[in-house]
């Protein structure tokens, strides 16, 4: 009896409602092709742009409500983290300001002492550089050239060759100026070189950009050079472009090999080349340079006057001496025809012959 019932259930077929229509694979293929066609048409004709805009306008309140819990959590977390961060930064800045105030007091004394020594030695005063605040507006996309564009140019009295400096050190040099912008080549570019010196011992060298990464090289230095890891490089100021004493880089690696007589020295820049957005364009003003060369011009202009004055001084005594002994010169003038008898003596033999 039960066996017959099970056989009847097995022989039953699925209801016709679920067996109607095409197969699932055919439906998947159809709707995929339809979606691709609609997307291609929309990308060409943009007929759904207004529909999407209106739909997003209607769904914006729902989106705000859905994101409200996460926004509330993020705002609360940001408030407390920012509060703690600001307290720590405030304490750090107070300590740094106190340290810098003490250093500035010593610096004022050193400046006064330097000015007094220059006055005693009658030396020329050092040129004071000018600085212009600029902001980075564009960064070059070429990975092989390290260049940036700032929002200051010739209209803001920016000159070609000015040094770009941030709060930590030198980051580059102005290589091209436009009316309202300037191009800065970073010190890590392989086409830029900067004269430096070791802060520890005063050894001078020239640092070249590596180009491929944010490092500097000190080439052509002997293997026994007095440079150690951790030495700080500063500008030497002998090129007349970079003010002296600005931080440039720190030595991170120094290698010597038996095959090469030169040392392989790699340095990392001190300035925040790819971190800061504001920087200073520092340059030595041209007016100061002209005033510094004026004494040389005046000295040169005095030289011809002295040369012309010396002949006058020489001729004046000559005239005075020629006027005083005028009477004594009369016998000399009377004795000038004396050589004539010798001429007659010479002619006598010819007459006898």
CATH topology of domain 124-321: Thrombin, subunit H (2.40.10)
Predicted pLDDT of residue 257: 84
41-80 per-position pLDDT tens digit: 888 887 777 777 788 888 888 888 988 888 888 888 888 8
Give the residue, 313 or 42, on which the prediction is more confident.
42
pLDDT for res 168: 85
pLDDT confidence band for 307 (50 / 70 / 90): very low
Decide: pTM greater than 0.75. Answer: no
Mean pLDDT computed over 115-140:
75
pLDDT number for residue 15: 56
Please, which pLDDT band fits residue 123 given cuts at 50, 70 and 90?
low
In this prediction, residues 7-23 reach a mean pLDDT of 58
Of the pLDDT bands very low, low, confident and very high (cuts 50, 70, 90), residue 208 is very high
> What is the distance between the terminal CA atoms of the chain, rounded to a whole angstrom?
194
Distance CA 348, CA 353 (A): 9
Kindly state the average pLDDT of the residues 268-296: 66
> Looking at the predicted structure, is the pLDDT value of residue 298 above 50?
no
> What are the structural domain ranges in the chain?
124-321
**What is the DSSP code string of 53-117?**
HHHHHHHHHHHHHHHHHHHHHHHHHHHHHHHHHHHHHHHHHHHHHHHHHHHHHHHHHHHHHHHHH
Give the number of other CB atoms < 10 A from CB of residue 38: 12
């Amino acid at each position: 009896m039960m066996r017959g019932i099970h056989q009847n259930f097995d022989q039953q077929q699925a209801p016709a409602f679920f067996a109607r229509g095409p197969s699932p694979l055919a439906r998947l293929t159809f709707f995929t092709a339809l979606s691709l066609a609609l997307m291609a048409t929309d990308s060409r004709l943009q007929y759904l742009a207004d529909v999407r805009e209106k739909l997003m306008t209607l769904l914006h309140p729902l989106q705000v409500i859905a994101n409200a819990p996460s926004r509330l959590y993020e705002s609360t977390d940001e408030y407390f983290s920012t509060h703690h961060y600001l307290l720590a930064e405030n304490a750090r800045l107070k300590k740094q300001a106190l340290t810098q105030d003490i250093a500035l007091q010593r610096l004022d004394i050193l400046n006064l002492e330097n000015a007094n020594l220059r006055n005693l030695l009658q030396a020329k005063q050092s040129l004071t550089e000018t600085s212009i605040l600029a902001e980075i507006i564009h960064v070059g996309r070429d990975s092989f050239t390290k260049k940036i564009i700032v929002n200051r140019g010739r209209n803001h009295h920016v000159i070609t060759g000015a040094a770009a400096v941030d709060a930590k050190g030198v980051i580059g040099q102005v290589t091209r100026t436009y009316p309202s912008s300037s191009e800065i080549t970073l010190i890590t570019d392989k086409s830029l070189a900067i004269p430096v010196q070791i802060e520890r011992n005063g050894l001078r060298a020239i640092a070249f950009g590596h180009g491929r990464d944010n490092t500097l090289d000190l080439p052509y230095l002997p293997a026994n050079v007095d440079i150690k890891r951790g030495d700080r490089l500063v500008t030497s100021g002998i090129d007349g472009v970079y003010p002296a004493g600005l931080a440039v880089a720190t030595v991170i690696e120094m290698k010597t090999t038996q095959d090469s007589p030169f040392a392989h020295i790699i340095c990392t820049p001190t300035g925040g080349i790819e971190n800061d957005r504001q920087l200073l364009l520092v340059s030595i003003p041209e007016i100061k340079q002209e005033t510094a060369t004026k004494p040389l011009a005046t000295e040169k202009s005095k030289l011809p006057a002295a040369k012309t004055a010396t002949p006058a001084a020489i001729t004046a005594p000559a005239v005075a001496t020629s006027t005083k002994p005028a009477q004594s010169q009369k016998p000399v003038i009377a004795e000038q025809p004396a050589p004539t008898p010798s001429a007659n003596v010479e002619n006598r033999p010819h007459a006898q012959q």
